């Protein structure tokens, strides 16, 4: 791939990033990792040193992965937040060469869910135990209008299935203008999510030949418009496999730093999707920049060390055994039991998927494995409903104070799941995990309060949180 010297991106200087990747710095990997263990983040040149670690340098890789795991557990403990995507529509006016939804794909059955169908899909997720959804739609503004989004969100929030309910809805739809973002905020959303896909300008132009998404600058400025409209939390990401992953990592960190500097807050989450096969999207199966497993683990580890307080999201694109490895390196949120087509959780037909899923396990199977490995699956939404979002969340997260809320609330929501939805095997394993984590709470007063709330849940109370 040619290394463009022209400063085609007014926000990210590609020449600067390539220079960092080509720099033979005097800083050693050991020195950078030692700094990273303080959980204060890394400068861009330090992230470049780590992402440049040779994939055959087993000693350096082991140090990197060990450090990432240590920082992840320092910040997040062994909590893993769970969610499911709910696809509203696979109509799209873009022609992204890697995506099954692309406009020119004639081998896909298109559908936009009605409001009632979307609620029906959500009800099936509630019945499994999900509490957090990500609404996703192809970028067709004629199909997905704000009034429709509002109806769907209001309908899902007002629906219950037994003890099941959705308590937080995040959203991934076409980038909006500032006034539209202001309207979206009034719907009670959580995080607004949008991916640049690739920050490399020439690659971006090739991958997005037509549609709204063809405008690189409009896409890049999405998060700025969201913050200016008052959106509290945003989620960013790239699709690894479109170009050199090392460049993408530095560009993603550069964008995050730009937002933090200008608005006083960076992204709430970073997503790390890796290119997967998609029907009707030939590039998805023949990219010259496909990311191997070791490189992908490096990506996760470097992002965790560079931005320790930012959530990292891993989807069901990855196969189960590999997800288990990657989770330990810095991931804080995962999807489970996912479908990537509209109506995927009901019987509305086999509409076209956006990409191939690698992990087909049910939510209960995923939770069993997490508990078996002493993780605490979390469905917590307490911070969002109490207003601990945006700046307020980071004010608690950076000094490590958010942990006292998050760990306890994770135990409460996990207890709910075990009592209301879990198989017998998952229930028994999960109860042991909860007791183990309860015993590790050193503050006697806090442990007593957590124990009291767990007893309340055992006695039938729900939606308990600090």
Higher pLDDT, 24 or 248: 248
The upper half-sphere exposure of residue 323, i.e. CA atoms within 13 Å in the direction of its Cβ, equals: 25
Query: Which residues, other chains included, contact 196 with Cβ-Cβ below 8 Å and sequence gap of 6+?
Result: 204, 219, 220, 236, 237, 238, 251, 252, 255
Q: pLDDT digit string (tens) for 273-288? A: 999 888 888 898 888 9
Three-state SS at 401: coil
Per-residue pLDDT, 5: 39
Q: How far apart are CA 317 and CA 314, in angstroms?
A: 8
Q: pLDDT digit string (tens) for 397-407? A: 665 555 667 88
| Chain Cα centroid distance, residue 325 | 17
Q: How many helices (H) and strands (E) does the chain have?
A: 19, 11
Burial of 462 (0-12, 13-18, 19+ CB in 10 A): middle
- Total domain count for the chain? 1
Is the CB of residue 80 less than 8 Å from the CB of residue 334? yes
Query: Which residues, other chains included, contact 450 with Cβ-Cβ below 8 Å and sequence gap of 6+?
Result: 408, 411, 412, 438, 441
Q: How far apart are CA 234 and CA 461, in angstroms?
A: 32
Which pair of tokens denotes residue 330? Answer: 């810095």
Answer yes or no: is 31 within a domain.
no
Per-residue pLDDT, 354: 75
Per-residue pLDDT, 196: 96
The rounded percent of the chain whose pLDDT value lies above 70 is: 92
Answer yes or no: is 364 within a domain.
no
> What angle (nearest 5°) sits at the alpha carbon of residue 82, between those of residues 78 and 85?
155
pLDDT tops 70 at residue 392: no
Q: Per-residue confidence at 6, pLDDT binned at 50, 70, 90?
A: very low
Per-residue pLDDT, 190: 93
Answer yes or no: is 418 within a domain.
no
Of the candidates 292, 348, 276, the residue with the CA atom closest to the CA atom of residue 100: 276
Q: pLDDT digit string (tens) for 411-438? A: 999 999 999 999 999 999 999 999 999 9
Q: pLDDT digit string (tens) for 300-343? A: 999 999 999 999 999 999 999 999 999 999 999 999 999 989 99
Of the candidates 327, 325, 314, 366, the residue with the CA atom closest to the CA atom of residue 85: 314
Of the candidates 52, 69, 123, the residue with the CA atom closest to the CA atom of residue 375: 69
Average pLDDT, the chain: 92
The rounded percent of the chain whose pLDDT value lies above 90 is: 80
Answer yes or no: is 399 within a domain.
no
pLDDT tops 70 at residue 104: yes
Q: How far apart are CA 388 and CA 398, in angstroms?
A: 13
Answer yes or no: is 325 within a domain.
yes
Which pair of tokens denotes residue 240? Answer: 């690894």
Domain that holds residue 179: 80-357
Q: pLDDT digit string (tens) for 48-94? A: 999 999 999 999 999 999 999 999 999 888 999 999 999 999 999 99
Per-residue pLDDT, 216: 95
Per-residue pLDDT, averaged over 13-18, amounts to 94
CATH number of the CATH domain containing 141? 3.20.20.70
Answer yes or no: is 131 within a domain.
yes
pLDDT tops 50 at residue 12: yes
Q: How far apart are CA 115 and CA 232, in angstroms?
A: 26
pTM for the full model? 0.93
pLDDT tops 50 at residue 7: no
Looking at residue 383, what DSSP letter applies? H
Which pair of tokens denotes residue 195? Answer: 């991916």
Q: pLDDT digit string (tens) for 186-227? A: 999 999 999 999 999 999 999 999 999 999 999 999 999 999
Answer yes or no: is 195 within a domain.
yes
Answer yes or no: is 267 within a domain.
yes
């Amino acid at each position: 791939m040619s290394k463009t010297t022209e400063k085609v991106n007014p926000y990210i200087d590609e020449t600067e990033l390539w220079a960092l990747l080509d720099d033979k710095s005097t800083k050693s990997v050991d020195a950078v990792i030692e700094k990273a263990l303080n959980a204060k983040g890394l400068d861009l040149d330090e992230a470049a040193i780590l992402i440049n670690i040779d994939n055959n340098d087993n000693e350096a890789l082991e140090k990197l992965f060990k450090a990432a795991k240590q920082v992840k557990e320092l910040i997040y403990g062994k909590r893993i937040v769970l969610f499911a995507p709910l696809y509203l529509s696979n109509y799209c006016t873009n022609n992204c060469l890697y995506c099954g939804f692309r406009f020119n794909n004639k081998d896909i059955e298109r559908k936009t869910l009605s409001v009632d169908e979307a609620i029906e899909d959500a009800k099936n997720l509630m019945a499994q135990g999900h509490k957090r959804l990500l609404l996703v739609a192809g970028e067709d503004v004629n199909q997905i209008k704000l009034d429709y989004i509002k109806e769907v969100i209001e309908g899902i929030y007002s629906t219950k299935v037994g003890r099941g309910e959705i308590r937080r809805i995040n959203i991934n739809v076409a980038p909006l203008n500032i006034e539209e973002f202001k309207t979206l905020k009034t719907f009670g959303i959580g995080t607004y999510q949008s991916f640049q896909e690739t920050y490399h300008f020439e690659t971006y132009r090739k991958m997005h030949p037509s549609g709204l998404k063809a405008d690189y600058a409009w896409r890049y400025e999405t998060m700025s418009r969201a913050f200016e409209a008052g959106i509290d939390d945003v989620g960013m990401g790239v699709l690894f496999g479109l170009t050199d992953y090392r460049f993408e990592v530095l560009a993603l960190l550069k964008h995050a730093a730009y937002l933090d500097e200008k608005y006083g807050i960076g992204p709430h989450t970073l997503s790390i999707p890796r290119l997967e096969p998609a029907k009707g999207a030939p590039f998805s199966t023949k990219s010259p920049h496909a990311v191997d497993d070791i490189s992908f683990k490096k990506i996760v580890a470097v992002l965790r060390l560079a931005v320790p307080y930012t959530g990292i999201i891993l989807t069901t694109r990855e196969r189960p055994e590999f997800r288990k490895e990657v989770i330990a390196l810095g991931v804080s949120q995962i999807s489970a039991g996912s479908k990537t087509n509209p109506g995927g959780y009901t019987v509305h037909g086999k509409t076209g998927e956006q990409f191939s899923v690698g992990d087909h396990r049910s939510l209960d199977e995923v939770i069993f494995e997490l508990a078996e490995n002493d993780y605490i699956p979390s469905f917590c939404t307490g911070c969002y409903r109490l207003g601990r979002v945006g700046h307020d969340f980071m004010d608690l997260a950076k000094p490590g104070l958010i942990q006292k809320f998050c760990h306890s609330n994770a135990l409460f929501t996990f207890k709910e799941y075990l009592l209301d939805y879990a198989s017998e095997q998952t229930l028994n394993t999960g109860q042991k995990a909860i007791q183990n984590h309860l015993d590790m709470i050193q503050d006697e007063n806090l442990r007593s309060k957590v124990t009291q709330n767990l007893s309340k849940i055992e006695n039938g109370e729900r939606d308990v949180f600090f």
